[in-house]
Structure 1
Amino acid sequence: MRLALLLLASALLVTAEERINSDVNQKLRKEEAANSQVMKTLHMLTDRYGPRLTGSPNHEAAAKWARDKMTEWGLKNAHLESWDFGHPGWLNERASGYVTAPVKDNLVFEVLSWTPSTKGAAKSQAVLVDPPKTPTQEELTAWLAANKDKVSGRIVMVGKPTVVPVNFTAVAKRMDDEALQRRLSGQGGPGGPGGPNRTPPAKPEPGKLTAAQVNTQLDEWLVAGGALVRVNDAAMAHGMVRAFNNRSYDLAKVVPTVVLRNEDYGRIARLLDDGEKVEMEFDITNHVYPEGKTTYNVVAEIPGTDKADEVVMLGGHLDSWHSATGATDNGIGSSMMMEAARLIQSLGEKPRRTIRIALWSAEEQGLLGSQAYVKEHFGTFEEPKAEFGKLVAYFNIDSGTGRVRMANVFGPQEAADVLKSALDPFADLGVAGASASKSRRTGGTDSTSFNAAGLAGIGLGQDPIEYFGTTWHTNLDTYERIVPEDAMNASIVIAGAVWHLANRDEMLPRFTKEQMPEPVKPGRD
């Protein structure tokens, strides 16, 4: 009890010491209400430059546009910071698909990225193969040998159709108080707020192959067997499709591959089960861009004054998957962060610390852009670079269109207390508080790249709206799914919190050497 009272008294003392600039917060609100640019920014990032797949000309054009727009707004040192992605860029230019017999219909699908084009229109009879799910190597080798004569010159559907049950439970679009309190108590989110509580894949039984190992050998088998096209089941309801990438990034190792909506996949599979001869046609044009091996993070600054060598960062990932225009993931997040920077710039006041915005590439391929930046500029707690001790915090947003409800910071509870004080003036906009994290595990979003290094990454938790159930990585992730009022309010909240950390007397409290959690060892992440 005594310890609890001491902790409470400490938290109250921190809160009491925080001097909140109410005039600045009011100016931010007025500017956003009168001159918001957040939806205009989103329009350009999605309608004009989307999708923004890392290494593609679209992504580079979006990065250059963001750099130039922030320069126009008055930010300084706006530039593209290059790093080695290690893979060529790729972009689907056009794709069409049809079932031509025994019925005629259009097909709804997306092309798997980093896969080759068809050689003109690929027309053939469809065949469905159903490989074993968790075989031993001997079992898979035997199955491949037994079925090798089925795929030559064919359009090959891989796996039986997934039965997607009707969902009778309505999904909440706003985070209720109970869910919010769970998040504030440290339950849920990707190294902080923002991500789904996905169960990690079960480890295979000893001697069994993983799904990835099976898939790699299937691709090799289809190439060797002369298959024309591989067709995967999207396995989602209501025509939703998620198409990711050929994990090898080597187009020679795969055949042209599409992800077909579950409704079309199931229909064709049932016709095949009836003994019907089903014919399909795909015409796919993809392009490879060798220059995409070098990709870019976008960086710009609002210079500080008496504490200019200290930095408060904000950002989110600019890249997207290619099935849609990347609006909720993460065009609107990038737009909110750009808008927050614009709001601060509009104040006409100089912050004490430098405020730096960064828009990352290759988040979707594994947080690669933010990890490259952290490695180059900051190092780690164990092997710090000169700038390590000068970063106050990094704010990140990456969970769709919803309003900001909370924040999670890597650091001691005192850091969360400071952050809560900065957020409290925006309670009327739905913000409920802040929590602290000790996890240095990467995953989910770019704030964890900072956490892993021992830096104060701040993940902003949002109302889910339609994110994980509908738009996240799907062909429905478009401008139309954005809630403008939520985006505007989130921009205000972020600007206010960033301004506060940039101007308080002390840096955000950090873990001491004795308190710093151990880094996650390779292979345990």
Structure 2
Amino acid sequence: MSLLGSRVIPALLAVAGSAAVLVAAGPEPIDHAVNARIRAEARDRSQIMQTLHVLTDVYGPRLTGSPNHKAAAEWTIAEMKRWGFDAGRLEEWDFGHPGWLNERLTAHVIAPVKDALVAEALAWTNGTNGPVKAQVAHLVLPERPTQATLTAFLADKAAAVANRIVMVGAVTQVPVNFSPAPLRRDYDDLAAMFDPVNPRAPQFPGGPAAGPGRGPQAPDPSRLTPRQVAEQVDAFLVANKALVRINDGGRDHGQIRAFNNPSFDGAKTVPTIILRNEDFGRLARLIAAGRTVELEVDVVNRWYPEGRTSYNAIAEITGTDKAQEVVMLGGHLDSWHAATGATDNAVGVAVMMEAARILKAIGVKPRRTIRVALWGGEEQGLLGSKAYVAKHFGTAESPLPEYATFAGYLNVDSGTGRVRGATVFGPDEAARILREIFAPFEDLGFVGATATRSRRTGGTDSTSFNAAGLPGIGLMQDPIEYGSYTWHTNLDTYERVVEADVKKSAAMIASALYHLAMRDEMLPRFTKAEMPEPPPAPGATPAPTASPAATRP
């Protein structure tokens, strides 16, 4: 028995009532001989780094709707077919926006000094149609303004922004971090989090759950939201013929997170770039000191109308006597555009492809069909996985035929760190099974598994399955530099991947995939009576507790 098992089982036996149910289920059968072969294949013949190289160096970045994303999806299918997988295909879904790529961006300060600047383009904005040289204006907006305050502020600024390059917003003060986040998760913290008797809620990046005096401020209806302010400022700059908008990256050590124009309409914004905080601050100080600052900016962006149709990449290993039942695994293939999307999420894709490849390479014959799914549109709101779940499975309230034969979905989407635990949507028995399946890999860092009842989407694609009432399995990983440096930033490149960690993750997931595909029964789910209600749609009033009707998301 592993150390994990020796810690878990006595704790379970100590709890009256629940222990009888868990013991009656019996220990999960583990094929240790297959696990040994999985470890050897993962260690000695891994394809992860080669897959990562192609997805990042050849096809990165992979913004949804872009030709890079489609080409990467086509390559993954071809590669999995080469490995012997079946039924490789692209499945279309409606993105509803044109594709977009930045092809060139240069920015230089040319007065009162000469220097290169570090910047990224805001996605779904137009380019400059050639180099633009102009004086810089700095528009420091009022904080959390009312409509009247913002209107008054902008009223006399038209002349100041016309034919200028405009820096928008105050400089973000980024203090030195004297307490950097740990690269590894603490074992004792994880053991408490995944305690099967009394699990502690996970503490996600950003701090503990909100309580009295903590968490985000309640919205003030008299104040404009940040998005409303941004939209009105964009419209003001367009109307008054500003040449370029510059936003502050607002992070340390040259990090830039470049997201998108929320309207996806280039006519509603001027060309927009995000400058690293260090450069934005320097220019702001020069202007504040009374010096005239001039820049030269050249941005080339290209739009792709065909990007309105996007894709999920699908491939399978066909099962045997239970081939009609499906165990899925995957991660999102799309990325943001500031870098090549290595830790978010090319490495997750590479790990999941590798986990399935390992099973094919060692020649096992899974009873259930194993299906790899590599999603598009995750960064814009889990769009690809939501479309897939709606098309193939429906929901607990309105199931489609495939709903009954779905046996679980494993998801990786938290960077390069090794897998440390799992959370499954379903009853406690589902978590027990996963806990025992993963237990032989405690030596690689796995700690435990827990169950969730939440059907809210958000964060990653496993929650698209949870929302439908299906067993989505999210895998928790060591953070390494994910939240601090690589997540959505211009530093998210191949070099930031820890090869030893991703090989360990692939071995653990391959074993879990194999054992889920070989069980006599599918992973347990909530019964109809136990199924949690879906959350209300945004802005909707929740249904009363006694009402049999539920407001669907």
Same fold, TM-score > 0.5, yes or no: yes
Q: For 1:396-411, list aligned pairs within 5 A.
A: 396-411=411-426
Q: Please give the per-residue CA displacement for 1:270-321, whole angstroms capped at 9, x wherever unaligned.
A: 0111000000110000000000100100000011111111110000000000
Q: Secondary structure at the match of 2:379?
A: coil
2:522 to 500, 503, 507: 507
Contact 2:191 2:448 in 1 (8 A): no
Is 1:108 aligned to 2:118, yes or no?
yes
User: 1:383 maps to which residue?
Assistant: 398
| AA at the equivalent of 1:453 | A
Give 1:357 shift.
0.5
Contact 2:91 2:314 in 1 (8 A): yes
Q: Please give the per-residue CA displacement for 1:429-479, whole angstroms capped at 9, x wherever unaligned.
A: 100110000000100000000000100000000000000000000000000
User: 2:255 & 2:200 partners in 1: Cα distance?
Assistant: 31
Contact 2:435 2:449 in 1 (8 A): yes
Contact 2:247 2:274 in 1 (8 A): yes
User: 1:378 & 1:297 partners in 2: Cα distance?
Assistant: 15
2:99 to 75, 89, 94: 89
Contact 2:13 2:19 in 1 (8 A): no
Give 1:188 shift.
2.7
Contact 1:440 1:448 in 2 (8 A): yes
1:295 to 290, 304, 310: 310
User: 2:18 maps to which residue?
Assistant: 7
Query: Structure 1: 5+ residue runs without aligned partners?
Result: none
User: 2:151 & 2:67 partners in 1: Cα distance?
Assistant: 40
Give 1:61 shift.
0.6
2:175 to 162, 165, 183: 165
User: 2:368 maps to which residue?
Assistant: 353
User: 2:162 & 2:228 partners in 1: Cα distance?
Assistant: 22
TM-score by length of 1: 0.97
Is 1:273 aligned to 2:288, yes or no?
yes
| AA at the equivalent of 1:36 | S
Corresponding pairs, count:
521
Q: Secondary structure at the match of 2:384?
A: helix
User: 1:144 maps to which residue?
Assistant: 154
1:228 to 240, 243, 256: 243
Q: Please give the per-residue CA displacement for 1:364-400, whole angstroms capped at 9, x wherever unaligned.
A: 0000000000000000000100001111100000000
Give 1:100 shift.
0.4
Contact 1:56 1:91 in 2 (8 A): yes
User: 2:274 maps to which residue?
Assistant: 259
Is 1:484 aligned to 2:484, yes or no?
no
Contact 1:301 1:356 in 2 (8 A): yes
Q: Secondary structure at the match of 1:4?
A: coil
Q: Please give the per-residue CA displacement for 1:45-92, whole angstroms capped at 9, x wherever unaligned.
A: 001100000000110110000000000000000111011100000000
Name the Cα RMSD after superposition: 1.7
User: 1:366 & 1:227 partners in 2: Cα distance?
Assistant: 31
Is 1:362 aligned to 2:377, yes or no?
yes
User: 2:136 & 2:483 partners in 1: Cα distance?
Assistant: 33
Is 1:249 aligned to 2:264, yes or no?
yes
CA 139–243 in structure 1, closer or farther in 2 if over 3 Å, else same: same
Is 1:188 aligned to 2:198, yes or no?
no
User: 2:441 maps to which residue?
Assistant: 426
TM-score by length of 2: 0.92
| AA at the equivalent of 2:22 | A
Q: Secondary structure at the match of 2:63?
A: coil
User: 1:107 & 1:169 partners in 2: Cα distance?
Assistant: 29
1:59 to 54, 69, 75: 69
User: 2:30 maps to which residue?
Assistant: 20
User: 1:128 & 1:490 partners in 2: Cα distance?
Assistant: 48
User: 2:488 maps to which residue?
Assistant: 473
User: 1:253 & 1:353 partners in 2: Cα distance?
Assistant: 50
User: 2:233 maps to which residue?
Assistant: 218
Contact 1:93 1:285 in 2 (8 A): yes
User: 1:257 & 1:142 partners in 2: Cα distance?
Assistant: 24
User: 2:216 & 2:180 partners in 1: Cα distance?
Assistant: 26
| AA at the equivalent of 1:441 | R
Contact 1:11 1:414 in 2 (8 A): yes
Q: Please give the per-residue CA displacement for 1:393-436, whole angstroms capped at 9, x wherever unaligned.
A: 00000000000000000001000000111100111110011000
Q: Please give the per-residue CA displacement for 1:301-356, whole angstroms capped at 9, x wherever unaligned.
A: 01111111111000000000000000000000000000001001112121111110
Is 1:374 aligned to 2:374, yes or no?
no
User: 2:7 maps to which residue?
Assistant: none
Contact 1:234 1:261 in 2 (8 A): yes
Query: Structure 2: 5+ residue runs without aligned partners?
Result: 1-11, 540-552
Contact 1:233 1:259 in 2 (8 A): yes
User: 2:269 & 2:435 partners in 1: Cα distance?
Assistant: 50
Contact 1:315 1:395 in 2 (8 A): yes
Runs of 4+ off more than 4 Å: 194-201
User: 2:401 & 2:499 partners in 1: Cα distance?
Assistant: 40
User: 1:128 & 1:10 partners in 2: Cα distance?
Assistant: 66
Contact 1:182 1:188 in 2 (8 A): no
CA 36–469 in structure 1, closer or farther in 2 if over 3 Å, else same: same
Give 1:494 shift.
0.4
